[in-house]
Each structure stands twice: as C-alpha cells, then as structure tokens.
C-alpha cells in the first residue's frame, strides 16, 4: 500500500519544498518504500515557479536537489493524500478551513514531530535577509521528518 504525504506552506517556495526533499531523503536513507511525497502552496502566487533560490542552495549545501515546481493545494489532495502537513498555525487553520467534510487526509503540523514545543513552528524565512532562516527550517525538517517516519511510517 502506497502512503502519500503532502507538505504545505504559504507559497510552496521555502518551507514545504525543503520539507518535501528532506522527507524523501529521510525515507530513502531508511529504505522505507511505498511512500510518495509532494508539496503545495496555500496561495497561488508562485504557481509554475521553482523554489526560492535560497531554499535550493540550502538543500544543495546538504547534498540534496530540489526540482519541485510550485503548485497550489487542490480539493482532491484531501482525498488522495494520507497525511497533509502544515508548517505553522496559520497553515493549519487554512488547511482545516479548506478540508472537505469527507477528507481522508490527516492534517498535522510537521513541527509536532520530534521538535520541542517552543520550536515546533517552522517559521517562514522568505522575508528574511540571507539564508539563515532557510538553514533553520532545513534543520527543523530533518528532525521532524525523521521523527514522523519512525512514529508513523516504520511500523
């Protein structure tokens, strides 16, 4: 049985593509098969574009490649995916609002896995200068993706 994971952030150019690439890498390193991972945006501002260059370079710094093209979340995602992750409380609120009544997807905050409560929000680094916030988001995703995998996907 294939399980499907969808990472969500506001524009799908910073946090969610990082989380997608990190989750794929985490699963590959643990030899966990039959899991598909994608990412999408709450809003449609960047649809068709690539991730923010700072997100791409942060991933490259860790030997990872991001080829994702931005897309916006669709109604059918709530029935096609098993797990849909938001990066912060605003994402989660919007996901709950968008979810149809018959949604099969479990809506989760990525930072609730493996991160301390005070650090569970994966902050949006888009408006920051430089790449420091992208590195912070990357490190949070590494911890959270590994914890989620161990808790939910390796059973």
What is the CATH number for 53?
Answer: 3.40.50.2300
Catalytic residue, candidates 14, 15, 38, 66: 15
Catalytic residue, candidates 52, 124, 141, 145: 124
15 is catalytic: yes
Catalytic residue, candidates 9, 14, 66, 141: 9
- Number of domains present in the structure of the chain: 1
The answer to whether the Cα torsion of 129, 131, 132, 137 is positive or negative is positive
Provide CB contacts within 8 A for 114, sequence distance 6+: 143, 144, 146, 147, 148
Give me the pLDDT at residue 108, please. Answer: 98
71 is catalytic: no
Neighbours of 93 (CB within 10 A): 12
Per the structure, the complete domain to which residue 44 belongs is given by: 3-154
Whether the per-residue pLDDT at 122 is higher than 90: the answer is yes
Side-chain-side CA neighbours of 1 within 13 Å: the count stands at 5
Dump pLDDT digits (tens) for 9-50.
999 999 999 999 999 999 999 999 999 999 999 999 999 999
pLDDT tier at 155, thresholds 50, 70, 90: low
Name the pTM for this structure.
0.97
Distance CA 51, CA 43 (A): 14
């Amino acid at each position: 049985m294939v399980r499907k994971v969808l990472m969500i952030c506001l524009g799908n150019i910073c946090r969610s593509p990082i989380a997608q690439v990190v989750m794929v890498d985490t699963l590959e390193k643990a030899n966990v098969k039959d899991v598909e991972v994608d990412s999408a945006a709450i809003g449609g501002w960047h649809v068709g574009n690539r991730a923010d260059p700072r997100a791409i370079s942060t991933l490259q710094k860790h030997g990872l490649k991001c080829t994702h093209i931005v897309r916006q979340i669709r109604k059918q995602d709530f029935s096609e995916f098993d797990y849909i992750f938001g990066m912060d409380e605003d994402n989660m609120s919007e996901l709950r609002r968008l979810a149809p009544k018959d949604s099969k997807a479990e809506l989760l905050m990525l930072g609730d896995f493996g991160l301390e409560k005070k650090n569970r929000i994966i902050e949006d680094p888009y408006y920051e200068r430089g790449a420091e916030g992208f590195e912070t988001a990357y490190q949070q995703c590494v911890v959270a993706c590994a914890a989620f995998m161990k808790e939910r996907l390796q059973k």
